[in-house]
Amino acid sequence: MLYIFVFLIFIIVLIFLLRESTLKKEFQRDLRFYWGEQNKVWEEKELPELLKRYLEYTGLVNEKDKSIVHISYQDVSFSQSKKGPVLKMEYEQYNFVNPLRRLAYMKSSMFGIPFEGYDTYHVGKSSMRGVIGKYFPLFDQKEKALEEGNLVTILAESLFLPNLLFSENIHFEKLNEHQIKGELKVEDIRVSGIFTFNEKNEYVSFYTDTRAQVDNGGNIRYAPWQAICEDYQKNPQGYCLPSKFKAIWKEEEDFVYFDGLITSIEYKK
């Protein structure tokens, strides 16, 4: 009897593994659609000296006319709560300059059963979805607070897509020799944070004291949030960029909920 039970479990898991993912198909469909649209770039404007030195140091001064960046991660440790399980996942994202968009697809497994997530942002609309077994929905959120959270992420990642720094929606203010304040405003939503650079002109952290946090139940709260960029290395394209990225909720004890290795950063168009 035990053999039959184990065999049935094996067959069920095999079906999950072999079936086509509905969420990944949606991600690929959206990507093809947005890729085919006319993605514009912003004309250059004057930037703070810190940003100029960062662009020169990384080599991204040569990518100021690109409208899309594709970032891939491997071996990501991800958790939705301090007491929750830590998933190992693969993660990839596309950020678009104009119109402003962000698509992020992640895949992992729980007890051998595939788990996938898909986060999207487009002006006026944001969503976060999760499915298990490539079909069964776990959550599907579209709260307004998701837009705020995604815009904070886009602002923190703006230094990986240089043309976005010239956007009419982004403004910078020098604070001191190693920090600038950035502000991003889209329609009626305004977010801001502090970028910190080290002596090498590497972008090492982004901090904001009010980022919206939305759990799987749709509950919303605001908390300090930080992104950390580490271990700058030259990639195959010759750009010196971080190979490690962390996202942290800054509470009584830091909660590192995303900790991944960046395997590639590629520029399109």
Give the whole-number percent of the chain exceeding pLDDT 90: 61
Residue 10 has pLDDT above 50, yes or no: no
Name the one residue in this structure whose structure tokens are 């991204």: 60
- Please give the pLDDT value at position 143: 75
Distance between CA atoms of residues 202 and 12, nearest Å: 48
pLDDT per residue over 148-162, tens digit each? 999 999 999 999 999
- Please give the pLDDT value at position 11: 47
- Please give the pLDDT value at position 140: 85
- Other Cβ atoms within 10 Å of 124 Cβ, number: 11
Name the one residue in this structure whose structure tokens are 């996938």: 116
- Please give the pLDDT value at position 216: 64
Distance between CA atoms of residues 226 and 246, nearest Å: 8
- Please give the pLDDT value at position 8: 44
Q: What are phi and psi of 93, to 5 degrees?
A: -145, 155
Residue 5 has pLDDT above 70, yes or no: no
Confidence category of residue 68, pLDDT binned at 50, 70, 90: very high
Query: Shortest CA distance to 48 belongs to which of 184, 201, 185?
Result: 201
Strands 87-96 and 101-110: antiparallel
Confidence category of residue 4, pLDDT binned at 50, 70, 90: low
pLDDT per residue over 136-194, tens digit each? 888 888 877 889 999 999 999 999 999 999 999 999 999 999 999 999 999 989 999 99
- Please give the pLDDT value at position 183: 97
pLDDT per residue over 214-250, tens digit each? 776 667 888 999 999 999 999 888 899 999 999 999 9
